[in-house]
Amino acid sequence: MLKAYKEQPINSKAKVNIHTGNFLSANKKFNSIDMIITSPPYVTSYEYADLHQLSSLWLDYVDDYRELRKGSIGSSQTDYRIENEAKNLNKTGNKVVFQLINKNQSQAKAVARYYLDMQKVAKKCFSILSNKSAAVFVIGNTEYKGIRIENAQHLTEALYDAGFDEVSISKRAITNKILTPYRDNNGRFSSDKSARKIYSEEFIVLGIKQ
Ligand SMILES: C[S@@+](CC[C@H](N)C(=O)[O-])C[C@H]1O[C@@H](n2cnc3c(N)ncnc32)[C@H](O)[C@@H]1O
């Protein structure tokens, strides 16, 4: 990231600091944050800790990459007691999770955990931002056994609940997409061209704090 920043053509004297960590548990204090730009995980797509296993082992972050699953948003491995926490799901989260329970209980739990984490992300973003600031999220919807997993709608609701004054959402087609547009019956990415094709689009969700 530092190397990429040095190579970029914009002439700026801004000082760049890079901090790594779990967004939800890190308690680093920042003086003022005017903007957050992020691409959070989409539920049911990837186990990110597994996806990053080569770089996390290579860069010596952990001896066993599976340890990173613990704090990973959207991971199927978290220590939520979902029975106690489900009441905290927002309206969209609740609707999706209850549709999923009939299809697959463990998948419903994974989606519930993801939604609860993202609700915490929305609250934390709001709390660390200064006044007159913005948070921008790139997020896509997914699908599991015919059920639409409305990540963008869930996040929009979570941002309003967190206190953002205005939330807008725009859809954009994904061109030059490296990822496969195909999904298997479980909604996971597939390279099988006979699998279902998903229209390549994603959403930009913008939250404004006055
Ligand atoms: C959709 S990807 C975005 C990747 C990024 N835009 C990039 O180009 O490398 C979501 C990322 O969120 C990371 N992530 C998951 N849980 C996190 C957490 N609790 N704190 C910080 N990052 C997390 C995942 O490891 C993954 O790299």
Q: Is the per-residue pLDDT at 100 higher than 70?
A: yes
**Three-state secondary structure of the chain:** CHHHHHHCCCCCCCCCCCCCCCCCCCCCCCCCCCEEEECCCCCCCCCHHHHCHHHHHHCCCCCCHHHHHCCCCCCCCCCCCHHHHHHHCCHHHHHHHHHHHCCCHHHHHHHHHHHHHHHHHHHHHHHHCCCCEEEEEEECCEEECCEEECHHHHHHHHHHHHCCCEEEEEEEECCCCCCCCEECCCCCEECCCCCEECCCEEEEEEEEEC
71 Cβ below 6 A of ligand 1: yes
**Residue range 11-21: mean pLDDT, rounded:** 82
**Residue range 9-32: mean pLDDT, rounded:** 83
Task: Give the closest residue (by CA) to ligand 1 atom 27.
Answer: 48
22 Cβ below 6 A of ligand 1: yes
Average pLDDT, the chain: 85
What is the model's pLDDT at position 8?
84
Question: How far apart are the CA of 141 and the centre of ligand 1, in A?
Answer: 16
The domain locations on the chain are: 28-209
What is the model's pLDDT at position 78?
64
23 Cβ below 6 A of ligand 1: yes
Task: Give the closest residue (by CA) to ligand 1 atom 4.
Answer: 39
pLDDT in tens, 45-96: 567 888 888 888 888 888 888 888 888 887 766 666 777 888 999 999 999 9
170 Cβ below 6 A of ligand 1: no
Q: Is the per-residue pLDDT at 102 higher than 90?
A: no
pLDDT in tens, 140-189: 988 888 899 999 999 999 999 999 999 999 999 886 555 666 667 666 67
